[in-house]
Amino acid sequence: MGTFIQQVFNGLTVGGIYALIALGYTMVYGVMRLINFAHGDLCILGAFIGLTMLTSTAGSGHPGPALLLLAFVVAIVLVAAAGVVLELVAYRPLRKADRLAAVISALGASLLIENGIMLIWGPEVAVFPSGLLPRITWHAAGASISFVQVMIIVASIFLMAALYLFVNHTRFGTAIRAAAIDQDAARLMGINVNRVIAIVFVIGPTLGAVGGLFIGIYYREAYFTMGWTYGLYAFIAAILGGIGNIPGAMLGGVLLGLFNAFAAGYVSSSWQNAITFALLIAILLVRPTGLLGERVAEKV
């Protein structure tokens, strides 16, 4: 029972992070029908920027939480800027081209960012400083839940709720949903689709930078290839939920986090990834467009 509760909390923590990153994949896909393979690397870029902020401000005498907040803000601003530039340079010129051209451009951007991180921060594993957050651990029914976990879970829920409200209850959110259904029709209704896409490339990387920094803080490390690993997981989460579907990405992230935690807790961890991929393939076979994705019938 203790293990069970422990794995639920571990799963929710990781799942929250997956969901934050998955939202970036799913929103871009929803509006542009493009898998933004560079998204995972953008998130890890956020982790490294945050880390640099934390190490350079450490010992300045200011309280830890304030420094942490500053690190988040700087990481978000820079990563969101990188996202907008990415869209402008690598994706916008290809909007009318063969979809595969954009896929390759995205893969290229991923390599570029990943190796850019390696050249700037080096190929070694970077360690996050300790003592930023209160070292509180709650014990209950044989499980221990740390302050970091609670912070990540609460923050993820808060951000997802905010996104949900933004997309469903604001004018701009309506514009995003309209552009996702039919770009041309949205344009005819006076929606500035370029601006919608730019905003999506601000929101996605913003959530992604938070997710990336959470990864760094939770595991207390960052390395340049992390973007692929976690990006792929988040992407699988988006696919599980039905890519293009915002609640789907949230659901997929949490389910995948829980699934991973239990696979690691009860099955050998060396097969954990294989089981995750097998689950992905199995779900696609049963529901080819994910859990919440809609089946699209071709009009003849």
Partner 1 sequence: MDAKLKPLSQSVSIKGDTLFSRRIGLKGARRIAGGLWVLGLFVPALFDNAWISIAAIFAIYGIVALSEDIILGRAGMFDMGHAGYFGIGAYVTAILNVTFGWPIFATIPFAILVSAGVGALLAAPLIRLRGDYLLVATIGFNAIFVLAMRNNLGGITGGSGGITDIGVPFLFGFQLASQSAMFWLDWVVLGIVLVLMRNLDASEFGRTLRYLKQDELASTTLGVDSRMVKTLAFAIGAGLAGLAGTLFAVQISTVSPSSFVFTESVTLFAIVIVGGQGSIPGVLLGTALMFILPQIFRDFAQYRYLIFGFAMIAVMVLRPQGLWPQRSVRA
Judged by the rule CB under 8 A, the positions of this chain that interact with partner 1 are 29, 35, 89-90, 93-94, 97-105, 107-116, 118-119, 232, 235-236, 239, 243, 270-271, 273-274, 277-278, 280-281, 284-285, 288-289, 298, 300
In the complex, minimum distance from the CB of residue 251 to partner 1, in angstroms, rounded to a whole number: 17
Closest CA to 225 of 13, 48, 76, 83: 48
In the complex, minimum distance from the CB of residue 263 to partner 1, in angstroms, rounded to a whole number: 12
Residue with Cβ nearer partner 1 (116 or 247) = 116
Reported as type and span, the H/E element at residue 231 is helix 226-241
Residue with Cβ nearer partner 1 (220 or 287) = 287
In the complex, minimum distance from the CB of residue 246 to partner 1, in angstroms, rounded to a whole number: 17
Closest CA to 16 of 216, 281, 231, 215: 215
Q: Spell out the residues 6+ positions from residue 126 whose beta carbon is closer than 8 angstroms to its own.
A: 48, 51, 221, 222, 223
| Tokens representing residue 288 in the block | 């080819």
Residue with Cβ nearer partner 1 (188 or 285) = 285
In the complex, minimum distance from the CB of residue 53 to partner 1, in angstroms, rounded to a whole number: 24
Residue with Cβ nearer partner 1 (5 or 198) = 198
Closest CA to 231 of 52, 96, 94, 46: 46
In the complex, minimum distance from the CB of residue 279 to partner 1, in angstroms, rounded to a whole number: 9
Residue with Cβ nearer partner 1 (1 or 119) = 119
Q: Spell out the residues 6+ positions from residue 159 whose beta carbon is closer than 8 angstroms to its own.
A: 20, 207, 210
Residue with Cβ nearer partner 1 (141 or 285) = 285
In the complex, minimum distance from the CB of residue 24 to partner 1, in angstroms, rounded to a whole number: 16
Please state at what angle helix 39-57 crosses helix 64-86, rounded to 10 degrees.
150
